[in-house]
Structure 1
Amino acid sequence: LDITDANVNDAQVGRQITIEAGATYVFDKGYCHYGWWTAIAEAGSIFVTRPKSNMRLALLRDRPIAEPQGDGFLVVEDSEVSLVSKAACKLPMRLRRLRVQRETGDTITLLTNDLERSAVEIGRLYKGRWHIELLFRWIKQHLKIRKFLGNNGNAIRLQLFAAMIAFALLRIVARTRRVTIPILRFTELVAQYLFGRRKLHTIDKPPPVNPSRPRDRASPNQMAFIYE
């Protein structure tokens, strides 16, 4: 997990990665660096990315699309192209351009040096990268990290990992004890009773007005995280 300042270019981080021969690298248009792309290709590896809007490409030939339909997307173009600009010498290779229409109706363009895989396979590879974006969205929606407790990378990592571990433990408890309320609501309720005791099957119920027996009261100076 690399955490960088907001003013650090993504391509700068990408160039620090050790390239493995035969590996496939999937990244977004923020990692646009022709020298790095060339290094990946020269190592016998594959990259799949999205070109920037100002990237000029010349059509070399159209490729037949044997199977256009993928899982949630449709391949509408498969062609071989080359870079047309003063920087063409920095990317001296035949490239493959795919245009993919998603279920939402919008179309995205993919660029790769893979001339062997089918168009659907390449589209599937890039679709898999979307899980990273879903992870970031999940972190924002579920972990409820409103502010970071520290400003350095190590402090941010520790806070993220601690929040993810706590969430995972709550999911395990909710599953083993067959808690039926939504996990986010369950998390909020557990947080309310961190310093007290409450049976899990009544955690979402109002507290009793006249309890039949005295309630166990924890010391205000003692933390307790107890499941019954």
Structure 2
Amino acid sequence: MRYRGSIFGRLLEPINRRQFQTVVDRLDGDAYDKSFRSWDHLVALIYAQLSGNSSLRGVVTGFNANSQHHYHLGTGKLSRSTLSDANARRPIGIFAQTFAALSAMARRQLRSEGMEMVRLIDASPIPLGKVCSWATWNGRIRGMKLHVVYDPRSDVPTCVEMTAANVNDIEIGRQTPIQPATTYVFDKGYCRFDWWQKINDSKAFFVTRAKTSIRLRSLRHRAIRKRNGDGFEILADDEVKLTSKGASRLPIPLRRIKIRREKGGKITLLTNDLARSAVEIAALYKSRWQIELLFRWIKQHLDIRKFLGANDNAIRLQVLAAMIAYLLLRIAAHTNCIKMLPLRFAELVGQLLLTRRSLAAIDKPPPINPSRRKSTISPDQMELRYA
């Protein structure tokens, strides 16, 4: 009989094992524990994310209870102490480079020809509470901060960084590589004039919300051909000049677009894009909420609220494993032409993770085994049997 792999095994297929081992060798990832390899560690943490187990004991018990799958997953039995030690000292770079490779693969598969390049930039807090006494307090939470650059067109995070909770968002934003002809959309927390100048010098664009402290002088009113968009109305569209302190660091043309939201107040946007219409600029800023939905989805349906370790290294590894699991789900949905909602797909994967069935038919009942032939004897007919 032909072997059929489990859903978990199919999900792991996009990870190139040879490239993964090359990264492990370069970073000496198996130096501390050769019996529990980096691949075993990665599989265990992805299993924890997809199965919904939020404790070391739960991960180990659930994984070891399905030992019939270990051979085909390329791993072995888990030990709670070994997993805990690996979480504390295995190099983060192994998981980070695995995420980067999968992100590049997902963007190649999911992007469409002629689609404009847009990147959303934002950060979300990761509360750690009093258990992690080493975590930094930023005035609101004690914990860390997850910074993400996100491609809304293909629904793929392109870059992930974790910092202390008190690190300013702009410090990570400034490290983001700028690609020409790309539009970067971010909130007013990323207000930094020299960074805006860098984006402009790279032949790229930005759309952001203006701080109330920014002083602008109107140079010219632009004609508004279309005022109403999806949930907003354009009030004004002006070419402006910066007059605030430090204005000399931003000697570029700017547009100020004032908007009235359907279910909110008025907001003011700033951009260096002089070609798009005001409605298009406003729609780009509205799309920034997609990254908020990404944060919410990950926190609700993957485990980055309860952690398998209380040290900095374990938390970073678990967050990266959650982002890798998210990418694997996106790639699997695209490869198998799965049209159901991502939430529904993730729930089914969690329930059927170690079952042997097709990913493309995950929402359908398993087929009847053709080897079980129907009886040709009538129930009303007597049958001769030997005693």
Matched residue, 1:149: 308
Task: Give the Cα separation in 2 of the matches to 1:160 and 1:16.
Answer: 20
Give 1:100's aligned residue.
Answer: 259
Q: CA RMSD in A?
A: 3.4
Q: Could you say which residue in structure 2 is the equivalent of 1:78? A: 237
Unaligned runs of 5+ in 1: 170-174, 195-199, 202-228
For residue 279 of structure 2, what is the aligned residue in structure 1? Answer: 120
Q: CA deviation at 1:40?
A: 1.0
AA aligned to 1:154 is L
What amino acid is the match of 2:177?
T
Secondary structure, aligned partner of 1:26:
strand
Cα gap change, 1:144 to 1:60, in 2 (>3 Å): same
* Higher RCO (CA-CA < 8 Å; seq separation 6+): 2
Count of equivalent residues: 191
Tell me the TM-score normalized by structure 2: 0.43
Distance 1:88 1:20 in 2: 24
Which residue matches 2:250?
A: 91
Q: Which residue of 1 aligns with 2:32?
A: none
Counterpart residue identity of residue 291, structure 2: I
One-letter amino acid of the structure 1 residue matched with residue 195 of structure 2: W
Deviations 1:157-190 (A, max 9, x none): 1145447868999xxxxx89x9xxx959x67x94
Segment drifting more, 153-162 vs 96-105: 153-162
Matches within 5 A, 1:78-227: 78-143=237-302, 145-150=304-309, 151-152=312-313, 153-162=316-325, 183=344, 190=351
Q: Which residue of 1 aligns with 2:201?
A: 42
SS state of the match for residue 163, structure 2?
Answer: coil
Aligned to 2:186: 27
Find the aligned partners of 1:47 and 1:164 in 2 and give their Cα distance: 26
Deviation at 1:148, TM superposition (A): 2.4
Q: CA deviation at 1:86?
A: 2.8
1:67 maps to amino acid: K
Query: Shift in Å at residue 35 of structure 1?
Result: 0.4
Q: Aligned partner of 2:212: which letter? A: S
Deviation at 1:63, TM superposition (A): 1.3
Alignment TM-score, normalising by the size of structure 1: 0.69
Asked if structure 2 preserves the Cα contact closer than 8 Å seen for 1:81 and 1:97, the reply is yes
Q: Which residue of 2 aligns with 1:225?
A: none
| Partner amino acid, structure 2, of 1:61 | R
